[in-house]
Amino acid sequence: MRRRFVILVHRVPVRGTFTLNDLAGGAGRMDEVARCVSTALTVSNGLRGDTELTLLFMAEPPPASRRIRVEGARVRYLNPDERSTAALLKNALVRSIPLEHDVESSPGIVVGPIDPIAELRGRLAEPGAMWLTEGGRPLREHPVGDSGFLAVLSDPTDPLPVERELLEGSGVPRVSVGPRSLRSSQVIDLVHGEMDLREAAPARTV
Amino acid sequence: MRRRFVILVHRVPVRGTFTLNDLAGGAGRMDEVARCVSTALTVSNGLRGDTELTLLFMAEPPPASRRIRVEGARVRYLNPDERSTAALLKNALVRSIPLEHDVESSPGIVVGPIDPIAELRGRLAEPGAMWLTEGGRPLREHPVGDSGFLAVLSDPTDPLPVERELLEGSGVPRVSVGPRSLRSSQVIDLVHGEMDLREAAPARTV
């Protein structure tokens, strides 16, 4: 099953101007963004080759906006901890400063400039797109077809009004992992856990 | 529902002699231990007051072994990132060096010396105990009664032979969250996710 996550990132400095010693503060919650990358792509002693995660840095005006894509099938140097994962992402952001096109900042990590709204609109039009948010349809009852899923969720900052408008207007299903308001990384773990069970028991797939 | 996690910790220096800048290396995978603490006790913008997590530092000879208990109902200064969580735990370990009894190193965090084998044996005898490991009964089919659960799992290092012997001999049920070998923190997220759903829909509880 193809598994894709798209995280809307709001407060991380897009030029990579932050210290690895204060990820939860000055780095605009890069700790949780790095944790999302880490838990989406790794299992115990391995990587999820079927998974791709994209960070969309939304809050800056378009000339400054960036996209980082991490491909589980090709990524290297991804260690399990927040700090080293944040270092890989920081490197990508720094490398992208003069860019007008995508570049691979390290194996399996591609960074480039985007128009964030056009980018989000495009992703929401892809097959299997869903919006992970509170009050949606239970994940366990949400069908996923052969094309896999593309799950859009926000970092610790709520979606901006313009993003919410796009999400609501897109018509993609709203899906929830449970009754509590969880951290983005926890939501990712629950999505993977559900899909692992479906793949292991295809006959019981919704 | 009372939720208790017990993590067997093997390689973290029990005197707290490690740097916060190398949690995944010299700190003996303190990154993952801290991530377990963090994800067990926190949700988005809050704490899980029903949850208690205990770290048992197993690998050292008994005079050096330590137990750290983190109580969700009382803990303070617990931020969501690995580094600051590791700092709280390091502080607890450093404070415990001359100790012969438990002390609260910061609000909601209690540290003290233990005989690790006797301690593990005692925990396995408590109501609701289960061993989270591969190849066990599916969590979704595992009943949890009014006393809640006590889930024992290992940090990134496999249980030592003496621990495995105790776990196997205890008769506690082996329970698995899914078909894949996941990180300890991911397993914790899946356990909480399942129990959140059960509490929200008691009629469908196994």
- Helices and strands counted in chain A (H then E): 5, 10
Say whether A179 and B192 touch across the interface (CB within 8 A): no
Decide if A31 touches B, using CB distance below 8 A. yes
* pLDDT above 90 for B97: no
Task: Name the one residue in this structure whose structure tokens are 């067990």.
Answer: B40
Contacts of residue A134, defined as CB under 8 A and 6 or more positions apart, other chains included, come to A176, A181
Decide if A96 touches B, using CB distance below 8 A. no
Integer angstrom CA distances of residue A130 from A126, A136, A147, B72: 10, 10, 13, 32
**Residues in chain A closer than 8 A to B32 (CB atoms):** 80-81
User: Which candidate in A175, A176, A180, A184 is best for mutational testing of the B interface (most B CBs within 10 A)?
Assistant: A180
**Residue scoring higher pLDDT (A201 or B134):** B134
CB B11 within 8 A of CB B28: yes
Residue A16: phi, psi to the nearest 5? 75, 20
CB A156 within 8 A of CB A185: no
What is the H or E stretch that residue B134 is in? strand B129-138
pLDDT of residue B38: 98
CB B138 within 8 A of CB B79: no
Both structure tokens of B114:
């233990």
Over residues B166-187, the pLDDT tens digits come to: 999 999 999 999 999 999 999 9
The three-state secondary structure class of A117 is helix
**Residues in chain B closer than 8 A to A156 (CB atoms):** 44
Residue A76: phi, psi to the nearest 5? -130, 165
CB A2 within 8 A of CB A145: no
> What is the spatial distance between Cα A48 and Cα A59, in angstroms, rounded to a whole number?
29
Decide if A35 touches B, using CB distance below 8 A. yes
Q: What is the mean pLDDT of residues B47-64?
A: 88
Q: What is the mean pLDDT of residues A167-179?
A: 97
Beta strand pairing call for A129-138 and B103-106: unpaired
Point out the residue among B42, B46, B181 whose CB comes nearest to the CB of A44. Answer: B181
Query: Of A56-60, A202-206, B118-122, where does the model show the most confidence?
Result: B118-122
Over residues B128-164, the pLDDT tens digits come to: 999 999 999 999 999 999 889 999 999 999 999 999 9
Q: Which of residues 156-195 of B touch A (CB under 8 A)?
A: 156, 177-183, 185-186, 189-190, 192-193
CB A149 within 8 A of CB A3: yes
Range of lowest pLDDT (A33-37, B57-61, B94-98): B57-61
**Residues in chain B closer than 8 A to A178 (CB atoms):** 193, 196-197, 200
Determine whether B63 is exposed, middle or buried from the number of CB atoms within 10 Å of its CB (0-12, 13-18, 19+): exposed
CA distance to partner chain B, nearest, from residue A82 (Å) = 7
pLDDT of residue B60: 65
> What is the spatial distance between Cα B47 and Cα B3, in angstroms, rounded to a whole number?
13
**Does the model's ipTM exceed the 0.85 cut?**
yes
Range of lowest pLDDT (A47-51, B23-27, B99-103, B133-137): B99-103
CB B149 within 8 A of CB B130: yes
Both structure tokens of A180:
């509590």
Both structure tokens of A103:
């570049």
Report which of A163, A149, A17, A184 is spatially closest to residue A90, judged by C-alpha positions: A17
Within B145-204, residue ranges assigned H as helices are 161-170, 184-200
**Residues in chain B closer than 8 A to A46 (CB atoms):** 181
Within B42-183, residue ranges assigned H as helices are 82-95, 116-124, 161-170
Say whether B82 and A82 touch across the interface (CB within 8 A): yes
Both structure tokens of B48:
């899980």
